[in-house]
A and B are shown apart, each in its own frame.
Chain A
Amino acid sequence: MKKDKIIAAILTVTALSAISGLALITIFIFREGMPIILRTGGGEFFLSADWRPRDGSFGIFSMIIGSLAVTAGAMVIGMIFGLGLAIVLTQFAPPSLAAVLKPVVELLAGIPSVVYGFMGVVTLVPLIRNRLGGPGLSVLAASIVLGIMVLPTVTSISVDALQAVPRSFWEGSIALGATRWQTTRMVMLKAARSGIVAAAILGMGRAVGETMAVIMVAGNSIEIPGSILAPTRTLTSNIALEMGYASGAHREALFATGVTLFVIIMILNCVALSVSRRSARERSFR
C-alpha cells in the first residue's frame, strides 16, 4: 500500500516535470521569437521575401513558400504511394502478405533522416540534373525524398483506417455484385475517409518539420522557387543553417521562424486530432 503511494507520487512528479518542460520550451521560443515579429510588423515579417540578416531585413515569405511547395509535393507523392499501398495491403493482398509488409513499411520510419538525405544526394539529385535539367538540388528532389519519408506514417494510419471499416459494409457491396475495386472506391474509401484525412495531416506534419534530409537535397537558396526544378529553402532549414552563427536580431528572427513552424504544426495536429475524434464517433455510432 505504502509502496503504491510512493510509486504513484514518483510517476506524478515525472509526468508533471515532462509537461512543464514542454511548457517552458514553448514559452521560451515565444519569448525569444515574438518581439521581432511585433517590431517588424507581422505583415513585413511574414509577407516580405527579403531575408538579408546582415542588413537587418527579416522577411520569411520565400521560406514559407519553400516549406509549402516542398510539403505539397511530398504529400502528392506520399498520398499516391502511401494510400495506394494501404489499399493493396488491405483490399487485395492476402492477409499473410499484409501482415509482413505493414511492419516492413513501418520500419522505414526508423531510418535516420540523414540517410534519406544522403540517398537523395547520391541518386536522385544527379538524376534530376541530368534528365530534367536545373541544378538537381530542387523542390522536386526534396518533395520526393520527403514523400518517401512520410510513407510509413501515411501507410500505417491509412491501413488502420481501412481495417477499422466493418466487414459487413464490404460484404454488402460484394453481395450486390460489385467488384473488389468498385467496393474499395465506392464504400471502403468513403467509410475510412476521416482516418485517411488524419493520415494525410499527420504526414504533412512530418513533412513540414523535417530538416536534415531537406537541407541536403533542396539547395537552400533564399528566393521564391520559380519551378519545381529550382532550389528552395524551407523554414526548418533556415533555422538549422543559420542558428550556428546568428546573434542579436538575427537570432531573434530565427526564433520567430521557429514560432511560425510551431503554430503551423500545432494547427495541423489539432485538425488531425479533431478529424480522428470524429471518425471514432462515427464508428461508435454504428
Chain B
Amino acid sequence: MELKMETRQLNLFYGGFQALRDVNLQIKPREITAIIGPSGCGKSTLLRCLNRMNELIRNVRTTGQILLDGRDIHDQAMELTSLRRRVGMVFQRPNPFPLSVFDNVAYGPRVHGTTDGAKLQAIVENALRATDLWNELKDRRNSPALALSPEQQQRLCISRLVAVEPEVLLMDEPCSALDPIATARVEELMRELAHSYAIVIVTHNMQQAARVSSETVFMLLGDLVEAGRTARIFENPRDKRTEEYISGRYG
C-alpha cells in the first residue's frame, strides 16, 4: 500500500536541544495513526513538522525528509499555503476564530480563493454535516463561534478543515479539553472521517489510542521506539520500553 506521508531520518533541533532523532514515521491513507508517549517526548513536535508549523518558531532546524504522496514537502514546487491546506491541523484547545460559525467554516475556502456566495453556502453546509453540527447549528450560523460549547467548538475546528478538502488531518490531543461524553463523540467522528482522510492523532491517553487508531507509534525522548498495528503494539510489544510504557510504568 502507498504511504500517504512519511518521514525519513527526521531530526529536529530547538537551538541546541535535539527534540527528534532519526524519526522514520509512516502514515497510511484512510487510517488513524496514534502517536503515544510520555509528555515531552516530542509528539507535538513531530506532528508540527508534517505541516511545517515548526518553522514559525525561531531557532528551529530540521534535517531529513518528509514526504507527502512521495514528494518532499520542503520542495520548492510545493507551496507552503497549499501544503497546509492539504495537511490540516486540529489543536489541543479548540481555537475557533472570533467570527460567526459560518465565517469560521468559510474561512479556509475564502483564503484559498472561493468567493462565490452560493458555493460557500454549499461548502459550509457540507462541512458542518461532516462533523454532525449541521442540525445543531443550521439556525445559528450567524452567531459567534466563541459562544458554542467546547465540544461544538472542537467540531467546528474540524469542519473548518473539512471545508478546504484536506488529505491529512493532524490532531494534537484534540480531546484534552473535553469531558468524557464529548470525547466519545469526537472519537466517533474521527472514525467516520477516517473513511476519507489519513488521520494522525497525538494522545497521551493510551485507552484513546487503543479505541480509535489502527496504527500506533510509540515515542520516547525524541526517538520513535516502535510502530505497528495498534492491536499488535498493545498485545505484543516488541520493545521492552514500549511494554513498560503500556503497562503503565512511565507517567
- Residues of A at the B interface (CB closer than 8 Å) are 166, 168-169, 171-179, 182, 186-187, 190-191, 282, 285-286
Say how far B55's CB is from chain A's closest CB, in angstroms: 10
8 Å CB interface, B89-135 against A: 89, 91, 93, 95-99, 107-108, 110-112
Kindly supply a per-residue 1/0 record for chain B positions 47-64, scoring 1 wherever the CB is within 8 Å of any chain A CB and 0 otherwise.
000010100100000000
Cross-chain contact B81 with A172 (CB below 8 angstroms): no
- Residues of B at the A interface (CB closer than 8 Å) are 51, 53, 56, 80-85, 88-89, 91, 93, 95-99, 107-108, 110-112, 146, 157, 160-161, 164
Q: What chain B residues lie within 8 Å of A178 (beta carbons)?
A: 81, 107-108, 111
Cross-chain contact B108 with A177 (CB below 8 angstroms): yes
Say how far A93's CB is from chain B's closest CB, in angstroms: 13
A186-B110, A186-B111 in contact; A168/B95 too (CB < 8 A)? yes
Bound CA–CA A166/B53 (angstroms): 17
A-B contact pairs, 21 of them (CB 8 A): A169-B97, A171-B95, A172-B95, A172-B96, A174-B56, A174-B84, A175-B53, A175-B91, A176-B84, A176-B160, A176-B161, A177-B83, A177-B84, A177-B164, A178-B111, A182-B111, A186-B110, A190-B98, A285-B146, A286-B98, A286-B146
Cross-chain contact A282 with B98 (CB below 8 angstroms): yes
Q: What chain A residues lie within 8 Å of B83 (beta carbons)?
A: 177
Q: Which of A169, A172, A286 is the most central at the interface, judged by chain B CB atoms within 10 Å of its CB?
A: A172
Q: What chain A residues lie within 8 Å of B84 (beta carbons)?
A: 174-177
Q: What chain B residues lie within 8 Å of A169 (beta carbons)?
A: 95, 97-98
Q: What chain A residues lie within 8 Å of B107 (beta carbons)?
A: 173, 176, 178, 186-187
A186-B111, A286-B146 in contact; A173/B53 too (CB < 8 A)? no
A182-B111, A186-B110, A186-B111 in contact; A176/B98 too (CB < 8 A)? no
Bound CA–CA A227/B128 (angstroms): 54
Say how far A157's CB is from chain B's closest CB, in angstroms: 19
Say how far A63's CB is from chain B's closest CB, in angstroms: 41
Say how far A38's CB is from chain B's closest CB, in angstroms: 47
A168-B93, A285-B146 in contact; A176/B88 too (CB < 8 A)? yes
A172-B91, A173-B107, A175-B51 in contact; A191/B81 too (CB < 8 A)? no
Q: What chain A residues lie within 8 Å of B96 (beta carbons)?
A: 172
Bound CA–CA A177/B96 (angstroms): 15
Cross-chain contact B93 with A177 (CB below 8 angstroms): no
Contact partner of A176 (CB less than 8 A), chosen from B93, B99, B146, B164, is B164
Cross-chain contact B97 with A173 (CB below 8 angstroms): yes
Q: What chain B residues lie within 8 Å of A190 (beta carbons)?
A: 97-99
Q: A177-B85, A177-B164 are in contact. List 13 more A-B contacts (CB 8 A).
A: A172-B160, A175-B91, A176-B107, A177-B83, A177-B111, A178-B111, A182-B111, A186-B97, A187-B98, A187-B99, A187-B107, A190-B99, A191-B98
Say how far A224's CB is from chain B's closest CB, in angstroms: 43
Say how far A163's CB is from chain B's closest CB, in angstroms: 15
Q: What chain B residues lie within 8 Å of A168 (beta carbons)?
A: 91, 93, 95
Q: What chain A residues lie within 8 Å of B160 (beta carbons)?
A: 172, 176
Q: Which of A168, A177, A182 is the most central at the interface, judged by chain B CB atoms within 10 Å of its CB?
A: A177
